[in-house]
């Protein structure tokens, strides 16, 4: 899954030992351009490369379409989970995003908690959502 190609948009960021990798692709089967609906799938892998256990508490997304329309999405966990990652562990999930334009971008953060209660935001670096990235 993590082989990079021209058909996949990707990004990666590391914050305090938490590495967040993203691969995004256009999903023609979920899209209907005649109705101005473009759907994108993104797979995220969160790796704990630090020494301390971390728990993902909340997500915060900033989604921008080609017209500059910005939507913010915030909420608990990801795909209904708040995973706990010990040192060396990872969590991977796939989700989706609908746009009213054939391209846009996303970025954001995950609020993480350390065992002592300290919290920090792990960065999700910007990645592109582009119709021309589709798999054939």
Q: Can you give the CATH number for the domain in which 13 is found?
A: 2.60.40.1470
pLDDT tier for residue 4 given thresholds of 50, 70 and 90: very low
Mean pLDDT, rounded, of the chain? 93
pTM given for the model: 0.90
Domain span at residue 19 reads 9-131
Would residue 4 count as lying in a domain? no
HSE-CB of 123 using CA atoms within 13 angstroms: 10
Instruction: Indicate the number of domains in the chain.
Output: 1
- The structure tokens listed for 60 are 């915060």
Inform me whether the pLDDT recorded for 24 exceeds 70. yes
Q: Is 14 exposed, middle or buried (0-12, 13-18, 19+ CB in 10 A)?
A: middle
Q: By C-alpha distance, which of 130, 129, 126, 133 is closest to 61? A: 126
């Amino acid at each position: 899954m993590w082989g990079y190609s021209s058909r996949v948009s990707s990004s990666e960021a590391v914050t305090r030992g938490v590495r967040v990798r993203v691969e995004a692709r256009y999903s023609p089967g979920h899209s209907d351009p005649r109705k101005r609906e473009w759907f994108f799938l993104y797979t995220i892998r969160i790796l704990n490369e630090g020494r301390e256990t971390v728990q993902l508490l909340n997500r915060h997304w900033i989604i921008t379409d080609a017209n500059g329309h910005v939507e913010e999405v915030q909420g608990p966990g990801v795909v209904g989970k708040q995973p706990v990652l010990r040192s060396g562990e990872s969590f991977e999930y796939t989700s989706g995003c609908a746009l009213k334009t054939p391209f846009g971008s996303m970025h954001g953060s995950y609020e993480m908690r350390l065992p002592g209660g300290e919290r920090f935001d792990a960065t999700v670096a910007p990645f592109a959502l582009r119709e021309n990235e589709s798999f054939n």
